[in-house]
Amino acid sequence: MRNLGGWRSIARLALVALLPVFVGCQSVEAPPEGPQWGTPKLMENRPADAIRPQIAIDAMGNAIAVWLERGSSQWSVHTARYTSTEGWGPSERIDQATYVIQTPDLAVSASGKAAAVWGQRSDGRSGQRIWANQYE
């Protein structure tokens, strides 16, 4: 078995010998901070439930978000748009019927065109229909 005590002593002597070199060094400042999170913005319209948000961003950094929002007795599809110059704009409802029953899907092209698609029933009893809306 090797005696490591000798190696420890040599390492300690080396640290003691180099200590004056390190003490004379100046500290390096941290690099400047990059982008940071801003202040949150409430996007929904009502004090009721809002669920299942989705977001898509185009090549210019603009974003569109969609989500489901519950009114007094029904769910509806809402959206809001973000631009780097204006921030988040007001939210708006983009469906025109009642009984939305599926989370909207969202796609945005590189040029900023967007499409949302969702399933809903028009009268609450009949079969489900697929609806879409687009932003240009």
For residue 75, give both structure tokens: 């769910």
Burial class of residue 53 (count of CB atoms within 10 Å of its CB; 0-12, 13-18, 19+): middle
How much is the pLDDT for 64? Answer: 94
Q: Is the pLDDT of residue 109 over 80?
A: yes
Residue 90 phi, psi (nearest 5): -70, 155
Reference 82, options 105, 45, 108; nearest CA is 108
pLDDT digits 0-9 by tens, 63-91:
999 988 887 777 888 999 999 899 999 98
For residue 123, give both structure tokens: 């009268």
Residue 107 in any domain: the answer is yes
Q: Which helix (H) or strand (E) holds 87?
A: strand 87-88
Residue 70 in any domain: the answer is yes
Residue 44 in any domain: the answer is no
The reply to whether the predicted model has a pTM over 0.75 is no
Please give the mean pLDDT across all residues of the chain.
Answer: 77
Residue 49 · residue 69 · CB < 8 Å: yes
- 3-23 mean pLDDT: 53
Number of domains in the chain: 1
Give percent of the chain with pLDDT exceeding 70.
Answer: 66
User: Which domain range does residue 112 map to?
Assistant: 50-135
pLDDT band at 95 (very low <50, low <70, confident <90, very high): confident
Residue 21 in any domain: the answer is no
Q: Is the pLDDT of residue 39 over 70?
A: yes
